[in-house]
Structure formats: structure tokens, C-alpha cells
Structure 1
């Protein structure tokens, strides 16, 4: 294992330890010159920058350095074109092209813009491209594409104004088109956009009614609110039912059944709402869901799966068997449905066939495989097969320019940029080389990157790579402190952050166990510690201490029920309280399978499976999956 260097501001001390020579200059000197050249860019000292940069052409980060200068000098057309040609295969060519095209559009250099435009999924540049097409005579194409770009549920960038202005003046801009976008906006709850679009409509009365029931959908149950019975009124009525289904699906279903024949509702909308209501009942754990799902004319994978879950909610094993029979052949092969097939067969008295399925499923390294293994008293199978590296495959990949850039960025402490470069680099690799890349990331101690890269290769059997045992001291100490098995904490870390100590979620959760700052502050008070800062949650010592303490609290709150505590760690204890059965005890496997949130359902099954894997990885035998399968009592 190579030693990993991360120097940051101590670069000059760190580089002294690496006497590598590159093209006459030591790598240490090139790193120092690179940092000096970046300062010269910031100072705007172009002459000195070019003098320094001349010695860096063999340095891995030269394209990155050159890009940094060019993005500040977008008027340098010849230099930009040379860069785009010489470094066309680098990540920085695409970044520079986008910025240069924006510059050309800003300066209305449409001829050059069209000559060098490449589709990139950037809606701003796409609008500017079709505006350029319009200006250069391709008016019909521009108008058709303007219509497509305009009909979205979000506001467009201001750079699209010129293009949309010609659309609005054209025959393509109809009241029907405005209503289409109005409805799209409200489906995405973009009320501000809908309010703007209302001003473009001739029938503002209907728009006002639609906006009113969007905000208070229960109004459709009142006879005081008049909705026209035509097709437009049908859309308004259907939208209200759709909105109400989220909070009160049973009332929404009642209103839909009683009043839908009063409106002109097309077959597609009718089927969409029938599906929406049936699934909404299932998400609310309503036992009417199975019957409603069974009545759907058009079914897809989600409906087929939720029909099984709706039957499980009833604990009606004949319905469960019927719903399983409705799955496709491919779906029935999934471990999840194999397990429920065995359960249904056993309930029907076909014990031998159930045993055969359990025995086969017990070979699978998954939550359902472990459940099956416990049912037939078999040991868990990890099927550990490390990635095989032939010859010097690892060294060869590490020497590729894209990976040298990533490693050098990491050495300089620019971790986010290094990882962006990594994901760019692996886009080009076939699966076999992706596996090699995963081992390279593991060697660099990029655990999260290694795991995700191996997943892209669709290889699942390298247990050391996929389930590292990092931060063992922090985990062991806190497991002992809070009377938890270390495998439990490892399972949570593996699911929450994939061992990235600097992980940060979109909502602000931080660190290995993804602690929210407010939760961290409360835990600090509970532990009678001084709260340091949000940044302290990136410290593994603090994060694991707080995360394991919080999990212990949840475990105590739910009477030692690991499945409930694990669900609460993901979705919050209040939601889990709402998901508890109201009248009868529910087996834990059924409760987990019928968790309404897909994310939480997957989270619980993954964490519990990871705990079992870490038990095996750490050569412990204290826990089995059945220890987490206590019946769920009514709330």
C-alpha cells in the first residue's frame, strides 16, 4: 500500500520527501512553480505567468493551469482553439468550451458560436444556439425548438428571453400551449411560474380556480366551488384529486368515484389518477389498496410490486400468492420476491418447495438471502472474490494522463476537483478496466470512490474493497460506550457516507454518520459537552460518538427494535411512529417490506444486511438477522 500524502499549505515541507525527476525538473519544483503560476493568474501578471508555465508542459496539471488562464482571457480565440484541439480529450476542454461559448453569445459573435457549439445539456447554451439559428435564417427549426424548450415546469434562464420572445409572437404560441405549461408548473408545485403564465391566458377565471384548488384541494368536495364540466374543468378536477391523494387518499378516492363522471376526462388522465389513488392508499398502509390496485387496467413494475405489498399489509397469503404470480418472470427471480414466494408456499403448506427456494436463496449475499439462511439454519455466504489484477494493470492505469491529473490534484489537497477529474476519467473505461480503477482508488485510500467505481463495473464480490474496516478505534470505543455491536455502527457508516469523512448531504448532514448540525448541538447538550462547530462533525471522533449516541437513543425509544431504530435514523422517529400498525402485530419482515418510502425501505434492508457482512468481516458471530426480526407491535 503506497503512503498517501495530503499536504495543503505544508506543500513545501511535503514535497521534500518525494525526489522524483520529471523532464529535467523535479516534481517538487514543478509543484512549487504550479502554485506560483496560479498566484500570477490571480494577480493578472500574464507575462510572468507564461514564463513560469513554459517549464510545466510535462507536469500533469499543465492543462488545468492553462485552462485557468484561458477562462480569464476568453477573447484569446487562437489560444482557445489551440487548447481545444491539443487537449480535446481532457475534462477542461469541455469546461472551457462552455465558458467560451457563453462569452461569444454575450458578444453576439453568432457565426463563431455556431461553428464551435456542441450539445452539452446546458439549457442556456441551447437557447443561445437556437437563437443563433434564427438569426442566421433557420427560423422554423428555431421556433420548433423554442416551443420544446419553453414547455417545462420551471423558469428558463434569462438568456432564453430572446428566443422565447419570437415564439410568443409566432403562430406556434397557442392558448393550449400556455395551459400545458401552466399544468406542468402546478404539478411541480411551481406556483410562481403558474401565476406568471396566468397573465398570458384569455380564460383567467379558470386559472384562478385552478390556483385556488391547488392551494386547497379539499375545496373540490364543496358544491360552492364551480368548475366547468369541459375538458379544462376535467384537468382542474383531476389535479385537485392528485393533490389530495397525498394527504387523504381515502377522501380523494371517494370524491373521484362520485364526481369524475361530471367532467370531460380523457382515458389517459383517468388511468393516471386511478393508478395514483391506488398507490397512495398503499403508501398510507390502507388495506383497501389491494382491491384498488387489482382494478387497474394498465400495470407497470411499481404497480405489480405494490400489489404484493398491499397483500402483505392484509397478511392475506392467497392474495400474496396471486400478486406474486402477477410479476414478470424476470421480477420473480429477484431475491426479494423469491423470499416472499417461499413464505407464501410455506403458509400454503408446500413446505418442501418453500425449503428448496430458501436453500437456493441462502447462497445470496443480501438481506433476503440472510433471512432465508436463518430460516433453514445455514451459514451466511459472503462469496468473497477479490478483483483479479493481471500483470501491471494497476501501474499502467495510474500512469494514464487522466489519472495522473486526479492523483496530483489530490496531492495538492484539492479533493473535490480531484474526484470530479476521477469521474470524468472513468467514463471512458470498459467494465474490466473499471474494476482496475476501483482497486487504484482503494490504493489511494479513496474508499467511497473505490466502492462507487466498482459498482459501476457491476462487480459485487470484493469484500475488502466494498466493506472496509476503517476508523476501527472510533467505532470500537463508541460501540462499547453505548452497548452496541461494532458491526451495527459499521453498517450505518457504510450506508450513510460510504466511509467519506467529509460527506455532506444536500440538506446539510455531515460526516461519517451524517449528523445534522441541529442534531449535533442537541447531542452535545445531552452529553454535557461544549458544541464546537458544524465543521466538527467532519471529525471522525466526534461524528461517530454523536452518531452512535443518537442511534442508541432511537433503539431505546423503540424498545430495542433494530429495524424500527434503523428506519428512524433515516426517516425520523416521528414518521416511524406513524408507520406502526394500528390494530394488530405485524411480522418484522412484512413491516420492512411495506415501508412507504422506497429510500427508507432500501435503507433498512441494506443496513441490516451490512451489519451481517461486517459480522463476518470481523470474524464475529454475535448477531444473526433473526435478532432484528422482532414482531412490530401496534403504536
Structure 2
């Protein structure tokens, strides 16, 4: 029997001598007791007496959940919708969909969810239902998106994936894409499993696994000089993994490979962004110049803000001014950056700062007070 915490709370009423029960509360507790004992002859008149008492729906839940899975789709939807404003709604809906999906009752499943759910298990059932209804392209496109993922997927997805694979849609490029994702996520077992499914680039798959185990092996740059983009994938993935353990070595090797034109433009952009983010997280002074060389071209307010925090920590006014200048207008309107903008203007252009402060002086907020203090 599944009862909400609301019933548990209500049940504590009769344990409190200081709390006098109303007649309706007593009826509710008596009905709950009868329901627990499955004494329906006693329960039914008590439930009828409760009418639309707010907690009564929790009693209904215990009755409805027992018959839910036997209902056809539209009837199930009507029953579940009764709980739409309660905490039980999503749980009842998921319970019905999982049961309908596991039994391949696709009409019932789709009656409850005409659009793709957010839960991965239910998504797999949804697209398996679409496949059964003849919407092949939609189902196969979704299967690819669900399969190309860096971790494991629930067993409920197996029938959809099997159908997609048998249709010849799981190409070598698709397997390689998932290998790279599993590499990034540190999923050793999945990476090893996928490496056995690669046939057209089996040697590269083995090298990828080897680099996963020892990313520092990338120091032997001559072993990775092949200009094939797939080798660039291996180097890119390996340097990202190495950067988590030894940022200095990763950036030094990146510089060597970059000079050798090892990367395609997308690989280089991806790797640069990753390495810059790692430096910004660690605020490593050794690679400040590296960051300031490549970061301005990245068009990323998130990373500009990280660099600004670093510059503020070190009171580096030159780079505070530089990166404030790079922020998008909507980001620059944040109060914290307005403060530093006025502070920078107060230092370099006091007349401009005074005018800016005058424009907001009627607000008399913290930002304005701080600005006045700086100018004075």
C-alpha cells in the first residue's frame, strides 16, 4: 500500500494528546485504518462521508493504483489526470507508461504521451512505439541520438537499439563517436566494449584505448604524426584526459602538436576551449599568457567572466578593462560588472564615470554608493 507523507502526517494527529481531532479528521483516520486492513465494507461509507476533503485523494490513490495498469490508454489518462495537482501525478504516469511499454501496448502508451517524454527509458519505449507504427525514420534518428552517449543506457532501450542496428544504421563512424564520448566520461568498460565493434579502424580503436590508459604516452609525438583526422581525435581526447592530471604537460604537448598542424580546425577549437577552461579553473599563472592569447577569440561570456574573476582577485586592472570590453551588452548589465565598469572608468576616465553614476543616482543602491566612494 502506497500512502503519501501527507497521510503519515495526518496519522500523527491521534498520537498528540494536545491536538483534538475534528470529526472529519477522525473519519479520515478511520477510513485509512479500514483501507490498510482491506476492510472495504467499512471503508466505502467512510470514504463517501469524506467527500472532497483534501486528504481523501490519498486514500483514492491506494485504490486507483491497484487497477491502473489494467486500464486502456484513454481510461488510464482520465484516472491519472485526477491527480494532476498532487505529488502522485508523475509517479502514477511513469508507472503506467513503464508497464505499457514493457508489454508493448503501444496504443495505450501513446494515448498517455503523444510527445516524447524526458525520461530516457520512456523515450526508448516512445520511439519503439513509433517504429511499430511505421514512423521508421523518426525512430531511427532518435535511436542514434540516444545511443551516441558516453555512458550506459537502460535495458529498456535494447529493443530499439537492436532494431536500429539490424537496419544497418549503426555505422563505424557512429561507433567511433560513442567511443570518444565514453573516453571523455571515463567509462572504461564501455570504451573497451565499443573498441571490439570497430572493424574499419581497429588499430586506431586499440590506440585510443591505450591512450586512455596512459595519456602521457602522447609525449611520443612521432607515433601520432599521421594526418588522418581520426588520429587527431585520439590526440585531442588524450590531451583532454591528460589535462585533468597534468595541465602543464597537456598544454606543452598541445603546443607541439599544434605547431605540427596535427588538428583539424574543429579539433583545435574544442581542445583550446577545454584547456583554457582548465587554466581558468585552476588560475595557473604559468599559462595566463596562453589564455590571454586565445580566449578573446572564443566569444564566450562564461569564460570571459571566469577570467575577470581571476583578474579581480589579482587586482589586474589592465585585464579587468580588457575583458569587460569583450562581454556581450546583456552580460555587462549585471550589477557586478556594472560596478567594475564604473570602477575602471573612475580610474581611467573620471568624467565618464561621473556621468554614468549621475544617470543612476536616483536608485541610491549599493552599486551607486560604491561608485561614489571610488570617484571621491
- 1:231 Cα offset (Å): 0.9
- Answer yes or no: is the 8 Å Cα contact 1:324–1:337 preserved in 2: yes
User: Who is 2:56 aligned against?
Assistant: 62
1:246 matches 2:244:
yes
RMSD: 3.5
Question: Is the 1:221–1:255 Cα contact (8 Å) retained in structure 2?
Answer: yes
Asked if the contact 1:71–1:100 (Cα under 8 Å) also holds between the matched residues in 2, the reply is no
- Aligned mates of 1:7, 1:132 — CA distance in 2: 41
Question: Which residue is 2:291 aligned to?
Answer: 292
Structure 1 residues 290 and 49, CA gap change in structure 2 (3 angstroms):
farther
Are 1:256 and 2:222 matched, yes or no? no
2:180 is the counterpart of 1:166? no
- Contact 1:231 / 1:263 at 8 angstroms: preserved in 2? no
Q: Is contact 1:153-1:181 (8 Å) kept? A: yes
Find out whether 1:11 has 2:8 as its counterpart: no
1:259-304: per-residue Cα shift (whole Å, max 9, x none)? 1354653322211222222232232223342553343423111232
1:350-499 matches, cutoff 5 A: 350=350, 353=353, 357=357, 360=361, 363-364=364-365
The residue correspondences of 1:514-553 to structure 2 (distance < 5 A) are none
Give the Cα separation in 2 of the matches to 1:376 and 1:37. 75
Deviations 1:399-451, CA, capped at 9 Å, x for gaps: xxxxxxxxxxxxxxxxxxxxxxxxxxxxxxxxxxxxxxxxxxxxxxxxxxxxx
Deviation at 1:237, TM superposition (A): 0.5
C-alpha displacement at 1:152, in angstroms? 1.7
Residue number in structure 1 paired with 2:318: 318
Q: 1:31 to 1:343 in 2, by over 3 A?
A: same
Relative to structure 1, the CA distance from residue 64 to residue 91 in structure 2 (aligned partners, 3 Å threshold; closer, same or farther) is same
Residue 116, structure 1, aligned to residue 115, structure 2: no
**Structure 2 portions without partners, runs of 5+:** 1-7
- Counterpart contact for 2:343–2:374, Cα < 8 Å: no
Once residues 188 and 251 of structure 2 are traced to their aligned partners in structure 1, the CA distance between those partners, rounded to angstroms, is 25
CA distance in 2, matches of 1:247, 1:75: 51
Q: Contact 2:24 / 2:50 at 8 angstroms: preserved in 1?
A: no
**Residue of structure 1 equivalent to 2:66:** 72
Q: How does 1:10-49 map to 2 (within 5 A)?
A: 10-14=12-16, 17=19, 26-37=23-34, 39-40=36-37, 49=43
CA contact (8 A) 2:357 2:368 kept: no
Residue 218 of structure 1: aligned partner: 216
How far off its partner does 1:168 sit? 1.2
- Is 52-61 or 9-18 further displaced after alignment? 9-18
Q: CA deviation at 1:233?
A: 0.8
Contact 2:225/2:262 (<8 A) preserved: no
Structure 1 stretch 232-241 or stretch 207-216: which is displaced more?
207-216
CA–CA separation in structure 1 for the residues paired with 2:374 and 2:363:
9
Equivalent-residue separation in structure 2 for 1:272 and 1:361 (angstroms):
46
Q: Name which of 88, 93, 104 aligns with 1:97.
A: 93
1:18, distance to aligned residue in structure 2 (A): 5.5
Instruction: After superposing the two structures, state which structure 1 stretch, 340-349 or 226-235, moved more.
Output: 340-349
Q: Is the 8 A contact 1:218 1:244 kept in 2?
A: yes
**Counterparts of 1:220 and 1:284, CA distance in 2:** 23
Asked whether the 8 Å contact 1:233–1:263 carries over to 2, the reply is no
SS state of the match for residue 173, structure 1?
coil
The whole-number CA distance in structure 1 between the counterparts of 2:214 and 2:288 is 25
Q: What's the counterpart of residue 207 of structure 1? A: 205
| Structure in which a larger fraction of residues adopt helix | 2
Q: Is the contact made by 2:224 and 2:231 (CA closer than 8 Å) also made in structure 1?
A: no
CA contact (8 A) 1:364 1:370 kept: yes
Give yes or no for the alignment of 1:186 onto 2:183.
Answer: yes
Please show how residues 77-156 of structure 1 align to structure 2 within 5 Å: 77=71, 80-84=76-80, 86-88=82-84, 90-118=86-114, 119-156=116-153
Indicate conservation of the 8 Å contact 2:332/2:338, yes or no: yes
* 1:304 match: 304
Quick one: distance in 1 between partners of 2:314 and 2:84? 60
Shift of 1:128: 1.3
Unaligned stretches of 5+ in structure 1? 1-5, 21-25, 378-635
Report the count of equivalent residues: 362
Q: Whose RCO is larger (CA < 8 A, sep 6+)? A: 1
Change (3 A) 1:135 1:341: closer
Deviates further, 289-298 or 210-219? 289-298
Matched, 1:277 2:275: yes
Question: Which deviations, in whole Å up to 9, do the C-alpha atoms of 1:334-375 show, x marking residues without a partner?
Answer: 22122222433444473883797499599445xx77866876
What are the superposed Cα offsets for residues 117-140 of structure 1, whole Å, 9 maximum, x if unpaired? 344312112211222222333333
| 305 and 364 in structure 1: CA distance in 2 versus 1, 3 angstrom threshold | same
Give, in whole Å, the separation in 1 of the partners of 2:101 and 2:159.
Answer: 12
CA distance, structure 2, for counterparts of residue 116 and residue 250 of structure 1? 54
After superposition, the Cα gap between the structure-2 partners of 1:322 and 1:117, relative to the gap in structure 1 and judged at 3 Å, is: closer
